[in-house]
Structure 1
Amino acid sequence: MAQTDDERNTDKNFDRFWYKRAAQQYESAVKKGDTSKETLQRLGDAYYFNLDMENAAKWYGELFSKYENELEPIYAFRYIQSLEGTGDYHLAKGLMKIYSEKLNDSTFNVDQLKNNDKLIDALRNTQPQFYITPLSINTPVSDFGAIRYGNHVVFASARDSSVFTSRKYHWNEQPFLNLFIADTTSNGGDLKNVHSFSKSINSKYHEASVAFTKGFDTIYFTRNNYTNSKLKRDAQGANNLKIYRAVLRNNNWKDITELPFSSDEYSVGHPSLSPDGKKLYFTSDMPGTIGGSDIYVVDILSEGNFSEPRNLGENINTSGREMFPFITDKKLYFASEGHLGYGGLDVFEATVTEEGFSKPKNLGLPLNSQLDDFAYMVDENTQRGYVSSNRPGGVGDDDIYSFQRSDEKCMQSIEGTVVNSDTKYPEPNVTVKLYDGEKVLDSTLTSNVGEYRFDMPVNCGHTYNVIAAKESFDTAEKSVETSLEPNFVNEVPLEINHKLIVREGDDLKIKIGLIYFDFDKWNITPRAIESLDTIVNVMKEYPGMVIKIESHTDSRGNDAYNMQLSDKRAKSTRDYILSRGIEPERIESAIGYGESRLLNECANNVPCTEAQHDVNRRSEFIIVKMK
């Protein structure tokens, strides 16, 4: 079918990576009735690539509802990532199970499409090791990629510079990125005195992601393919990223040259130098890349030459994106969406080994979040560093956070009070159990004032269930998600419902079935004893309980006779309860009301069924006091 001019213009904006504008145009097309697979795919993608996971999940959901059996695995992957980005792990986990069965013939290989409940649960229960703090220099636009530069820090930001204040990047409608430098504060946890890093390096397009040699006299940085005031594009019209190198002479950065393995036809970026200065790690989507982008390494040879790039292989790289490598003498840190994570990009570490690198490990909460976490750098001696994230609660798009890593376990405790939901009084002798999934971790009894405390400490950043149970009560359960504050005391109050104590209007009653008396009699029958012994047991359970007894009849028979009969039944009921050891002062009164307090319309001469009359034939045990 021929495209309209509007459709061609929308696709053109998408192909230019102008995702914010394209998303609005595709959404307008859907409202006009275009729900084709291609439109819904691109609408979801436009939001996904612009990190709007809520809208991405919405439109991928529409896409899957219409075309589930026609979609490539990458769309299941993006849908799962979007769901995780909104915190909907339950649905994301369900999709993992569904699509794990469809990957046998697919070359698309990411952990998010593998059905492994144990690994997923283990990841969510990872013990936190990080204390993170947002920097005060963050702005409403993108700030990321902090790297140490002596006693300073260099980072990328889309904050307005003094030169190119009006230029915007249509991917996200923000100003282009430039490099900035800031001083560290005395405690090293924040930055101050931000200013432009270098007029010779910053251009009117993007600069970001830097690496310095040990002496800080050479810089490697990422820039758009922009050389000699010319912006170059590939065969499809896209402008790619390149890594450039510059040297410091007389306090000015000179001799800016692109690295020889850069290309007009693909992107390279995010450089990181090994501590000995002999290897340069970077990100690229060059031919041979396993996923959307992979991590590569080159050897730095003499006279400024480089070896051919080597892909780090499937141990590190997946069919998703791997980005932002940071290499130390001990570990490789990088961001990935392909290894199992919490949503979006997560930071992983892989230990340096003789064979290469160990299996990557997710660094867990709170360093990682349900959105993108990346650009990790650390001082291995102090375990202090910086990470970037677009998580909720930040100042802007991407923000920079400082962190301190600690191997000490973060532990907390759980305690609370259990009360009767009807009486609102503390409930003693309730069994309270602490669960981690299906496993019971600890069990205790409430005190005379309803209080409990588990002896077993619990992990920070973990979800537990607390369940209260007692005979004659319904169980009560509450989920508690522990915070990331060490030694925090989690107060978990619980309310349990007594199966026999109920509130009816303003009255609190012991609710049992009919008290059975023989016809025209008021003496206690064996059937009545069963019910009355239940009343006795409840009153013994609550020694401070005081009740009053009311006996009622239906409207059949003489009114005066019914009044007299019900009163005798009320008093025989009282006498039986007293005979079982209940103190007389705990029964305030025992009165029969005959048919004077009917609960329905079944008065004298009104035709009613037996069931309707049964409603009015009742004995009520009303609680007037609970000590």
Structure 2
Amino acid sequence: MKHKNHILVIISIMLCTSVFAQQGKQKRADTLFNKFSFVKAAKVYRELIQKNYNRDYATRKLADCYAYLRDPRNAARYYKSVVKQDNAPIEYYYKYAQSLRGIKKYEESQEWLKRYKDSGGVVNSNDFSKDINFITSVFGAEQQYFLDRFRFNSKFSDFGAFEQNGKVYFTSARDEGSAVKRIYGWNEQPFLDIYEVDVKSKKNVDFSAKIKGDVNTIYHDGPITLTKDGKTMYFSRNNFNKNVEIKDNLGLTNMKIYRATLVDGEWTNVEDLSINGDNFSTQHPALNVDDSKLYFASDRPGTKGGSDIWVVDIFPDGSLRNLKNMGDVINTESAEGFPFINNENVMFFSSDGHTGLGLLDIFATLKDEDNNDEIVGVINVGVPVNSNADDFSFSMNPDGITGYFASNRRGGRGSDDIYAYHRVPILNVEGVVTDAINGNPVTAATIKLFDDKGNEIAFMETDKNGYYQINIDRNEDFKIVASQDKYIDDYRTFSSKKIQTELTSITANLLLNPVPNVAKLANLNPNNLGYKTDETINPDSSSVKDAQLKPIYFDFEKYNILKEYAIELDKIVKLMTEDYPDMVIKIESHTDSRGTTLFNDILSKNRAKSTYNYLISKGVNPSNILEYKGYGERRLINECADGVSCSKAKHQLNRRTEFVVVRME
């Protein structure tokens, strides 16, 4: 027996570990997806589908990955499965329609666009054009980003913001508080400088927030990028170093990228880089995830348009080699600039040459599924990040959810303003399952999540701390059930509708009451006591599933104890006062579905209280009644829900008070 128990424990641990491994995979897949690392994300979502973990959700995200990878054939294959899901959001009708259009199944596409429209979706006239941009239309099916206020804007130009180690670095022409202001003749604003401020600071940002050292000069300085250790800075500046300004053949002072190091809290040792030249501009530096490559914008010889994105390798000794234009997929005949590389090595940049909403728009690169180093396309990140004005200097924090960009759109404070953004974060339901008697966590409890139609969405087990977490969709209603062999099931209903977009988690803790030990009742006749059970009581058994005392019933809309059921209550009184004075029970009262939810909640509470009062009045120790609670119409035992025609007898079965034996000794 000990050997068998040991094996069961091992199996339980293995199951629990396996489920949480899948949960960890889903988190990683979602993070990769948010960072536009669609190739890696697709691989993990496929693994989740194979393991049948949160399959509906993983299938949706996998279909989206293929859409963003410009693979309408595979996208259509998985969207076809998605639209068959009972709980699929309607925007997937739209996405499926566009993926069908991408493989030239126009008639079928029209049918799904119509279904999307009939379901309440908004359809633009050009959505029915055969020439619609497949990837942009799919990406734009739902809003990806939401804007937050950036507290540090001024009435002048502000841009180039990024966050690192609790500080925000940005470039600004404010120069507020400075005794001497130098004006840039081009736009009659002060020259640009680089600022540093704590993310959580609430103070006004003036000249005192300029970074310390030799980086800021009397000319334009910024934007910047920092190595991951925060000790080396690459920054843009006019061709001005060691108090010498150099102009090109046309008398213009071009931009260069310089490098500086942090020494005793100040930026110094400013050095000109080999990629610079006097007769062209080099600016907007960006580093890749391991600081081995420097990306930048330049109009140097070999540039295709007004300016292109270029890249150069950074060697351990600091030398720059293997200069390369990023090529035609990124660069156009117009201007590209402001590259940024997130920690999944996905590039974001601004362009007025790719199809956009107007002027400069922000784009993200898409990698090849078979060769993750090859960029095969770009995608417009959509509204509200992009507008009909100039949108540029995009950055993304390591979480893949938040970041910054700049725009000169209407409604800002200055000529260019910084905007903070967040993507709608993944929402999950989480909680702890505990033993209702001793408060200990229940390990390896089965957690099942159902939608509002009763379809099982997800399945997992609690960990050693009784904890569970499951990703869920927004704007849906759910039911979650916890069960374990040694306990009576518990459940909660909850909704993700009308919740703030910033909310990432809904808590649903569950309490499991142990199945009572009825061995001591072996010599009693369970039929006389009114026990109902799904198995015969065995004198040698230590527990019986779902053991309950016989319920009592109530008249319609009444909560008084009827005479015939007072007899049943008297049996319980005898049991609890004479035979088993240490018995602990719970009282649970219910209503039928007729009447409003609020009315039924109040009615069931009154039924529970009247039952409790009766037992106490007959001598039952109040401490032996763990709780008395009303559940309204939430726990119907038959099909008689709202709108269902039922007999009076069937409705009567729902108007009940039940008794759960929690402990016998």
Bin of the TM-score, shorter chain as denominator length: 0.3 to 0.5
Q: TM-score, normalised by structure 1?
A: 0.45
Q: TM-score, normalised by structure 2?
A: 0.42
